[in-house]
Amino acid sequence: GKEGLKEVYNDTLKYSGILMGFASEHVVSVLGKEWTEEYLKKRVKRGINARIIMPQTEIIEKDYFLRDREQLRSSKLVDPKKYPFSIEVNIYGYSKIALMSSREETAVIIESSEIYNTMKLIFELLWDNLSEIRIEDRKTYIA
Tens of pLDDT along 23-45?
Answer: 988 888 889 889 999 999 999 99
Return the pLDDT at 134.
Answer: 57
pLDDT, mean of residues 4-22: 96
The answer to whether residue 48 scores a pLDDT higher than 70 is yes
Mind giving me the DSSP string for 51-88?
Answer: EEEEE--HHIIIIIGGGTTTTTEEEEEE-TTT----SE
Tens of pLDDT along 52-100?
Answer: 999 998 888 877 788 899 999 999 999 999 998 889 999 999 999 999 9
